[in-house]
């Protein structure tokens, strides 16, 4: 069974074109997700990567924007990873306590010391989680600022376009008035020539 797939194979599997897969991979990289890159614009995608892209596609089919779908899929993946890490951590704790308890003669003092070490590990893991949450919050705030900036730019462009349309209308009206004045002058001269 293949553990990695080329972009073309993934595109065919998901029913998308390679450019879309490429664009989505760039977005995931920008959001901090790690994908193995080969060459200038291609990646080797693992099964987890393909599943993530599939989730993005499914979320977009349900009406979410690309950015929302990517964020939700990444958050879902992080939640699963966090749960897996928690399960693994508990299993490792149990194995360490069991193994060391047997090796150290299973004394109560030894077990208490091991639990203290494990509790210190828990504190360090929690600190790392807090740092991760802060980074995610900062990224979210940065995305919000970027969206606000984009909205501001779009509003400015719309206002500029409206002003241009108004100016063009005024120019057309002025040209009509100039043409009408020239036409009136020509008629007067003709009338004067006929009357004289």
**pLDDT by position in tens, the chain (length 196):** 456 678 788 888 889 998 888 888 888 888 888 777 777 767 778 888 888 888 888 988 999 888 888 888 888 776 555 555 666 677 777 777 777 666 666 567 767 887 888 889 989 989 999 999 998 898 889 888 988 999 999 999 999 999 999 999 999 999 888 887 777 776 677 777 777 6
Same-domain status, 46 and 82: no
At residue 95, the pLDDT reads 74
Secondary element (H or E) of residue 66: helix 66-103
**Rounded Cα gap, residues 52 and 70, in angstroms:** 8
Q: Is 185 within the bounds of a domain? A: no
Q: Is 115 within the bounds of a domain? A: yes
At residue 105, the pLDDT reads 61
The CATH number of the domain where 8 resides is what? 1.10.1660.10
At residue 1, the pLDDT reads 42
At residue 41, the pLDDT reads 67
Q: Count CB atoms within 10 A of the CB of residue 124.
A: 10
The domain in which residue 117 lies consists of 78-156
Structurally, how many domains does the chain consist of? 2
Task: Please say which residue of 44, 70, 96 terminates a domain.
Answer: 70
Q: CB of 69 within 8 A of CB of 59?
A: yes
At residue 161, the pLDDT reads 92
Q: CB of 68 within 8 A of CB of 59?
A: yes
- The model's pTM is 0.39
Q: Count CB atoms within 10 A of the CB of residue 150.
A: 10
At residue 38, the pLDDT reads 75
Same-domain status, 49 and 116: no
């Amino acid at each position: 069974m293949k553990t990695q797939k080329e972009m073309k194979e993934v595109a065919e599997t998901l029913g998308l074109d390679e450019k879309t897969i490429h664009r989505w991979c760039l977005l995931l990289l920008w959001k901090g997700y790690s994908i193995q890159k080969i060459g200038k614009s291609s990646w080797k995608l693992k099964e987890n990567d393909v599943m993530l892209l599939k989730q993005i596609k499914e979320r977009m089919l349900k009406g979410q924007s690309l950015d929302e779908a990517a964020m939700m899929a990444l958050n879902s993946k992080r939640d699963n990873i966090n749960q897996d890490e928690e399960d693994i951590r508990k299993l490792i704790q149990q194995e360490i306590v069991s193994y060391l308890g047997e090796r150290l003669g299973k004394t109560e003092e030894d077990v208490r010391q091991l639990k203290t070490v494990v509790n210190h590990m828990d504190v360090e893991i929690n600190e790392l989680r807090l740092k991760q949450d802060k980074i995610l919050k900062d990224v979210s705030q940065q995305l919000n600022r970027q969206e606000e900036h984009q909205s501001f730019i779009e509003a400015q462009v719309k206002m500029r376009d409206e002003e241009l349309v108004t100016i063009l209308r005024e120019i057309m009206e002025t040209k009509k008035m100039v043409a009408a004045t020239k036409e009136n002058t020509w008629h007067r001269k003709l009338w004067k020539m006929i009357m004289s």
